[in-house]
Amino acid sequence: MNFFLPDVVARQLPNVVGRLGLGGIEPVRRLVSRAVINKFGYATTLRPRALSLASDYTSWLSLTDRTFSGRHLPPSTAVQQAALPPEAEVVALYRRERLTPATDTSVMFMFFAQWFTDSFLRTSLTDYRKNESNHEIDLCQIYGRNIDATNLLRSRQGGRLKSQLIEGEEYPEFLFAPRDAGQPAVFKPEFEGLFDPAFITEVILRSASEQQADTFFAVGLEHGNSTIGNTVMNVVFLREHNRVAGILAGENPAWDDERIFQTARNILIVMLLRLVVEEYIMHIGPFDFPIEAVPLIADQERWNRPNWCAIEFNLLYRWHPLVPDTIGSGPGALDASGFRNNNPLVLEKGIEAITAMCSKEPAGRIGLMNTPVFLVDSSNPDWPSVEQVTVALMRKARLRSFNDYREAYGLPRLTGFDQLTPDTEVRQRLTALYGDIDKLEWYVGIFAEDYPDYMMMGELLTCMVANDAFTQALTNPLLARNVFNDATFTKTGMGIIKKTSSLQDIVTRNATSPEAVHVSFSYGSIASLNDNGRTR
C-alpha cells in the first residue's frame, strides 16, 4: 500500500512532529519518515528514464546500458547552447575571494560526502558519457569495484580484509613495496592488478612526496588516499569490517572464511545505508526530526527501480565550496597541500584526532564565489582545474536550464534573478552573463540559489539530492523484504546494525580512547545536540 501525503503536508509534518517531541516514538517516527521519503521519492519522473547519454533519443541502449550515465531531461538545443556565455566566464563565478563559512556544516561532513560519492559517481576519463561505477552503495571504497579487486584485498583468514598494525593500531596494508630513496614506486606483488599503476603514480600521486607515496594504502578505489578524509573513512570501515568478522567467526565456528566475509560485508553495507539516510541526508535536509531508514519501504513504492546514476546527480555533487582554505588555525593549520595525499599525518595523529579536528572545523558555505582558488584556476595547462573540468562536462552533456529543472521537480519557475538571490553582486554577474533567468544554466543556478541559515543548500539542489539519495539508497537489495532478516545478517548482525545510528558509533567502537571520540557533521559543540540526539 502506497503512503503518500500532499506536498504541503509532507513539507511541514517533520518539523511539526519534531517540535512536539514525538521523534522518539517509533510508530510516529516511521510514519513521518515514510511521508518525507515519498515526498522526495516522487518529486520527479521515476526510473527507468527514457534517456541516457548514450543517445539524444530513446533507444534500447539508452534504456539498458548502464555504462552510460542517465539523464533527467532531454538535451538543450543547438540554439540554446550557442547563446551561452564562454566557459571561462562561468568558471570565474565560482572563484573565492574570501571564505564564507557554513553556518553548521563541518569539514567532517565534507570529507564523508567526498568519500561516499566517489564510490558511485565515477566519470570515465576516456568517455565523458560513461560512469564506471556499479550504481550501487556497496562499500566498494574498501571492497573494490569487482570481485577481482575484492579478492586482492581479502586476507582469506577469518573473513577479514588485509591489514597491518602500526604502533598497535590497525590500518590497511601499504600498496607499494619497500624501496630505496629515489627508486620508482612499485606495487607489492599481492596487489598487482588492483589499479593501473601509471594512473596511481602519474595522476593521483603526481605531486606527492616519496614519504606520502610509500604510505599509500591498498584500498578499494584509486582515490582512496587522495585526502586525509578518504583515508580516515577507509581505515574506520576496514577496522569495523574486521571487528564484525571476528565476532561472526567466534559465534559461528563451523563457518568458512567466505561466509564470514560475505556476512560481514552485508552488515557493513546496511550500516552505511543507515548513516546515509539517518545522519547524512538528515544533515542536508531542513528537518527538525530524526528521519529513519524505514525497513522494506521500497518494496511498496513505484520508485523502487534499479539504480542508475544520472549526469545531473554526478554534477550536483560537485560541492567544491565546502572545501575550506585551511583546516585549523595557527602553526598547525593545514592548507590544501596538507590535507591531500597525506597519510603520514593520519599515522602521526591517529583517527580520533583527525576526526575530532575535522568535526570542529567549519566547511565553506555552498554557493557561488566560494570555491577555493586551487580548484578554480589551473596551475598547469596540461591539467585543467576541477571546476574547469566540471563546467566543460556540463556543456558536453548539454543540460537544460535551471528553470527547466525546477519545473521538472515540481517547483515554480522563477521570473527574475531577484527571486534567485538577494546578493547584489551575484545578480549583477548573472544578468551580465545570461540576461534572462530562463537562460541560466542549471549547474550555475543550483549554486546561485539563496537559502536560509537552517538549510545547507538551495531548494532545487536539496530536492534533487534527496530524490536521488532516497531512491538509490533504499532500493538496495539488502533492504528487500525477503533479504533483510537474520538469515542474511545473523541475529548479532541485526543487533549491530540497529545499534549503529551515527558515524561516531563506528569510530568509537574502533578507537583506542572511545571516551575522547568526537565525530559530527556539525561543527558546533557536543552540547548543540538536540533532544533527538542529532546535531542541527
CA distances from residue 443 to 54, 389, 393, 403, 480 in whole angstroms, order as listed = 21, 13, 10, 11, 34
CA distance 500 to 273: 10
User: What's the angle, vertex CA 440, arms to CA 380 and CA 470, rounded to 5?
Assistant: 85
Q: What is the CA radius of gyration of the chain?
A: 23
The rounded distance, in Å, linking the Cα atoms of 291 and 288 is 9
The 3-state secondary structure of 265-312 reads HHHHHHHHHHHHHHHHHHHHCCCCCCCCCCCCHHHHCCCCCCCCCEHH
Assign 183 to helix, strand or coil. coil
Residue 341 — left, alpha, or beta (φ > 0 → left; ψ -120 to 50 → alpha)? left
pLDDT for the residue numbered 207: 85
Q: Which residues pair with 172 in a beta bridge?
A: 163
- In the block, residue with C-alpha cell 519501504: 297
Sorted by where each starts, the structural domains of the chain and their CATH numbers stand as: 7-173+217-528 (1.10.640.10)
pTM of the model: 0.92
For residue 251, give the nearest of 390, 126, 146, 158 by alpha carbon: 158
Torsion of CA 236, 238, 244, 245, to 10 degrees: -170
Q: Which amino acid is at 534?
A: R
pLDDT tens across the length of the chain (536 residues): 344 444 544 555 555 555 555 556 777 878 888 888 899 999 999 999 999 999 999 999 999 999 999 999 999 999 999 999 999 999 999 999 999 999 999 999 999 999 999 999 999 999 999 999 999 999 999 999 999 999 999 999 999 999 999 999 999 999 999 999 889 999 999 999 999 999 999 999 988 999 999 999 999 999 999 999 999 999 999 999 999 999 999 999 999 999 999 999 999 999 999 999 999 999 998 766 678 887 788 998 999 999 999 999 999 999 999 999 999 888 889 999 899 999 999 999 999 999 999 999 999 999 999 999 999 999 888 889 999 999 999 999 999 999 999 999 999 999 999 999 999 999 999 999 999 999 999 999 999 999 999 899 999 999 999 999 999 999 999 999 999 999 999 999 999 999 999 999 999 999 988 988 999 999 974 433 333 333 33
Phi and psi at residue 150, to the nearest 5°: -60, -45
Cβ 363 vs Cβ 113: under 8 Å: no
3-state secondary structure of 515: helix
DSSP tag of 193: T
Helices (H), 474-519: 486-498, 503-509
Tell me which H or E stretch contains 246.
helix 228-251
Instruction: Return the DSSP state at 322.
Output: G
